[in-house]
Each structure stands twice: as C-alpha cells, then as structure tokens.
Amino acid sequence: MNVLAITESPDRPTVETFIGLYKKNINISVICRSNCEHKTILDQHQIKNFEIIFRRKIDYEAIKKLRNYLIDQKVDIVHVFSNNTLTNTIFSLIGLKNIKLIAYRGIVGNVSYFDPISWIRFLNPRINKIICVCDAIKNYFLSMRPKFLRMNSNKPIRVYKGHNVDWYNEVADLDQYSIPANSFVVGCVANSRPRKGVDYLIRAIDLVPENIPIVLLLIGRMRGRKIKKAIKQSKRKNLIFSPGFCENAPAISAACDLVCLPSYKREGLPRSIIEAMSAAVPPIVTNSGGSPELVEDNISGIVVPVRDSQSIADAIKKLYFDESLRKSMGQKARERIKLKFNNEITVNETLKVYQDLHADQTK
C-alpha cells in the first residue's frame, strides 16, 4: 500500500506515527518542509520525504507537482494534515478517482455549510475520511446544520494523537525565571488566541487565598489585548511571569506544581496538557472540546466549567492544600497517557483506517 502524507512541519507524535506505519509495512512517503524540526527523525528511519511548498489556498504550480507525483508513484492513499495542503490536494486529485483521501482535523468548529471555503476543504465530497483527534471534533461534524446536508456518520473517525511518556523526562530549572523560592507554580502553555481563555486564569490567581505562595508561569506568545489587560489589573501582577515562546515548554511544564489550560471553545486534544500529564503534573482543564476526554475529573486532573475563574481558583486551592491528592492525580495522569493515549494505539488505529479504505479500493 502506497501512502503519501502531506504535512508542513509535523510534530513529534505525527512523525512517530509515520515511523510506526512504516514498520508495519506501509510504504509511506512524507511531504514536509526541508527545514522542519523532526525531518532528521524521518531520515534516520529511511522514510522518503521531500518538499512541495504550498504558498496559497490554490497554488497551481504545487498542484501540478503533487499530481505528477501521485500518478508516477501510484499512490493509493493521501493523508493530509493542514488546511492549505488539503485544498491543493483536492484539486490535484481531479480525475484520479482510485486514490483515497484522508483529512486530519485537530480543532472543534470553524467549518460551516454556509462558508464557501469549507466546501473546498472539509466539506468537499472528494474526502473519504476525516481523522479527528477527539470525539468532540467528530461530534461537531455529525451535528452540523442544516441536517439534510449532514455528512455520512462513517466519514469522521476519532483517532487520538498518541504520545510516549518517555519523550517528556526532561525537567527545566525554573530559577532562570527568577521565581521566588518555595513558590507554588501554576503553569500555562498557550498562545494569545482569545479562545485559550488565559485571561480567566489570570483573574483566578487573584481569587486564590493570600496564604498560598502562588506564581503563574505563562509560556507562549501572550500578546492578546485581554491578557495584557488582565495582567495589568491583577493585584498579583508581580507574581505573573511570562517569558514568551520557549522551545523547552514540555520541560518547563514538568517543573510546575500543576498546569492549567482554561480554553473556552474549539479545543481539540491539547498537546501542552498531554506533555504535562506525561511528566506526572496534574492538570486543570475546562470542559471544552477534547479536554474532558483527556482528563478524568477528580482522578487524573480536575475539569472545571468554561469562563469560570472562581472554579479554577477553587481547583488550585484544592490541589495546593492536598499534596497527596496532587501527587496521586499526577501519577494517574501519567498512567492515563501511557495506557490510553500512546503512540502505538494511534499507529494501529490509523493503519485500520488505511486498510479499510484500501479494501474498498480493491473491490
């Protein structure tokens, strides 16, 4: 079976999935940026990879190159991982009916039957399967309105993006951020997109009792107006540290006492939470998107309502005052990733999707 995976800069779990599929005798090739971070891992495993740059939603030069490759290499399945590459792939497949097309979707929402762009992406009938990283995404597709246009229930498939807990053994030294000694560090790895709800977490810090030596460590580009305003208004602004983007974000999370992702919509399967859980750091998440699929409430973390700073503060207080609970949740979080969200499961479930499509193709 010849599979072409079309990516731009694939992350570690995605690359490891390609390797796992290759080891299961899938003849997989990968389109990726020539300078992407994990290209060397593909090279080490002798997985063919090359670059086609998709500069626009519809890039005629890229479409031609891709189409020629699909024909020359007798590709059976194309697995596409980003919006721009999906649109261009759909155009490259015109007339090539025997090639199956899989799209990847990592966030909830932002697809509509009333949006013309959606019809040249995820709503395009040329797509055979949509691999969704959580049930929340799958359910979104299956509940879209109007009902008479709704896609076939077999089209979206949930395959969790699996990790390996051993990827996250490094623990950073937080002294580099001048954090006061004996602080209780709450970490948040996110960016300035409003839907991440970081401003609700900042306001929650003010609601935590003053006898808790709390510090908030914000990792990522925190440039949003709401975030800046919340920090400015915080009575504990001197205990909020924001070093910006950090390449070693997983190691920083591993050094925190707990992590929080206060997203209020469109959350997929949050990688930053998986990384922290892998390091046995207990998470606080909202009941948004795939987060409650990842975290078992009061077992492997705490799930709170969206847009609720008081509930976040209460969860922080609970974990601060109950050290044994904090450690227990951290260990159960690590075990949950190890057993339920590991890369081997991802490889096997993706392989099953490929095999089913290929069987249909050869009938």
* 362 pLDDT higher than 90: no
Query: What pTM, to 2 d.p., does this model score?
Result: 0.95
| Averaged pLDDT score across all residues of the chain | 96
Alpha-carbon span 117 to 57, nearest angstrom? 10
pLDDT at 194: 86
Give the model's confidence band at 264: pLDDT under 50 very low, under 70 low, under 90 confident, else very high: very high
pLDDT at 361: 73
Out of 3.10.20.30, 3.50.50.60, 1.10.150.120, 3.40.50.2000, the CATH code matching 165-340 is: 3.40.50.2000
Query: Backbone phi, then psi, for 30, in 5-degree steps?
Result: -130, 125
User: What residue type is assigned to position 330 of the chain?
Assistant: G
Alpha-carbon span 82 to 45, nearest angstrom? 24
pLDDT in tens, 279-292: 999 999 999 999 99
pLDDT at 363: 62
pLDDT in tens, 135-163: 999 999 999 999 999 999 999 999 999 99
Q: Is 153 left (phi over 0), alpha (psi -120 to 50) or beta?
A: alpha
The mean per-residue pLDDT over the stretch 15-23 comes to 98
* 341 pLDDT higher than 90: yes
CA distances from 358 to 111, 132, 220, 264, 274 (A): 28, 19, 41, 39, 32
Q: How many CB atoms lie within 10 A of CB 72?
A: 8
Show Cβ contacts of residue 35 under 8 Å, excluding neighbours closer than 6 positions. Answer: none
Are residues 278 and 321 in contact, defined by beta-carbon separation less than 8 angstroms?
no
Alpha-carbon span 216 to 219, nearest angstrom? 10
Instruction: Please give the order of strands across the beta sheet that includes 27-31.
Output: 49-50, 27-31, 2-6, 77-80, 100-105, 129-132, 156-158
User: What residue type is assigned to position 57 of the chain?
Assistant: K
* Fold match, 2-162+342-361 / 165-340: yes
Q: Which of 270, 251, 250, 252 is nearest to 261 (CA)?
A: 270
What residue ranges do the domains of the chain occupy? 2-162+342-361, 165-340
* 105 pLDDT higher than 70: yes
pLDDT at 277: 99
Give the model's confidence band at 223: pLDDT under 50 very low, under 70 low, under 90 confident, else very high: confident
- Three-state DSSP at 353 gives helix
Helix (H) or strand (E) holding 89: helix 83-92
Query: In percent, how much of the chain has pLDDT > 90?
Result: 96
* 184 pLDDT higher than 70: yes
Is beta strand 100-105 parallel, antiparallel or unpaired with respect to 2-6?
unpaired
The mean per-residue pLDDT over the stretch 115-126 comes to 97
pLDDT at 181: 92
What is the full DSSP assignment across 231-293? HHH-TTGGGEEEEE--TTHHHHHHTSSEEEE---S---S-HHHHHHHHTTPPEEEESSTTHHH
The mean per-residue pLDDT over the stretch 63-77 comes to 98
Structure tokens at 191: 């960016």
pLDDT at 113: 96
Q: Which CATH class is domain 2-162+342-361?
A: alpha beta
Q: What is the CA radius of gyration of the chain?
A: 22
* 193 pLDDT higher than 90: no
